[in-house]
Amino acid sequence: MSDDYPVLATEPIFTGNVISVRLDRVQMSDGTVAVREVVDHPGAVGVVALDDDGTILLVNQYRHPVRARLDELPAGLLDVDGEPALLAAQRELAEEAAVTATDWHVLVDLYTSPGMSNEAIRLFLARGLVPVPDDERFQPEHEEITLTVHRVPIAEAVERVFAGELTNAAAVAGILATAHGEATGWTGLRPADAPWPARPGH
């Protein structure tokens, strides 16, 4: 937290199932006071699941705010109190893509929209993929009922990013980070339990 911009007052505006909204009165560096709308978000995790043949798993699902089906990474909210980010990522990968993984690292950490929200997402790189047995697979609901999973070579995914065909921000960041990591021999990857000070609420 920056001491340069103290919050003088906070007014709750809305509390929903996932997010809440508040108004902060913030003292600027020149001494003036500005009102900022802030969306509080629990944070999220996403997974670049990389197969031995160099393909990654993408899920396609309906996203109501943009009224479109998007190709994305397996991902989900950090909405279970006290759940480690790695455990949440492992759960989401198993539920959405029906695979587990034996090798996990942190790929990148992102603020998704820091001008209006504290939402942060941690993207993991998962390798050593193993299918979840049919009788242990998650039963989807809501938008996930029509969710589909497909494999895409990294190079093709990168091409789709630059063609404007892949627009989910976490997917774009994860795909480009994976392409860079592969090209540089995976140097600099952090352990799966690396500190994450940007995680909301921590």
Instruction: Write out the catalytic residue numbers.
Output: 144
Residue 176: how many other CB atoms lie within 10 Å = 16
Q: What is the largest CA-CA distance in the chain?
A: 62
Q: What is the rounded CA–CA span in Å between residue 46 and residue 85?
A: 10
Is there a contact between 174 and 107 (Cβ–Cβ < 8 Å)?
yes
Structure tokens at 42: 């629990």
Q: Residue type for 75, please?
A: A
Q: What is the rounded CA–CA span in Å between residue 48 and residue 73?
A: 6
Q: What is the rounded CA–CA span in Å between residue 141 and residue 147?
A: 10
For 136-145, b/e burial (b = at least 16 CB within 10 A) is eeeeeeeeee
Q: What is the rounded CA–CA span in Å between residue 47 and residue 173?
A: 11
Q: What is the rounded CA–CA span in Å between residue 201 and residue 151?
A: 34
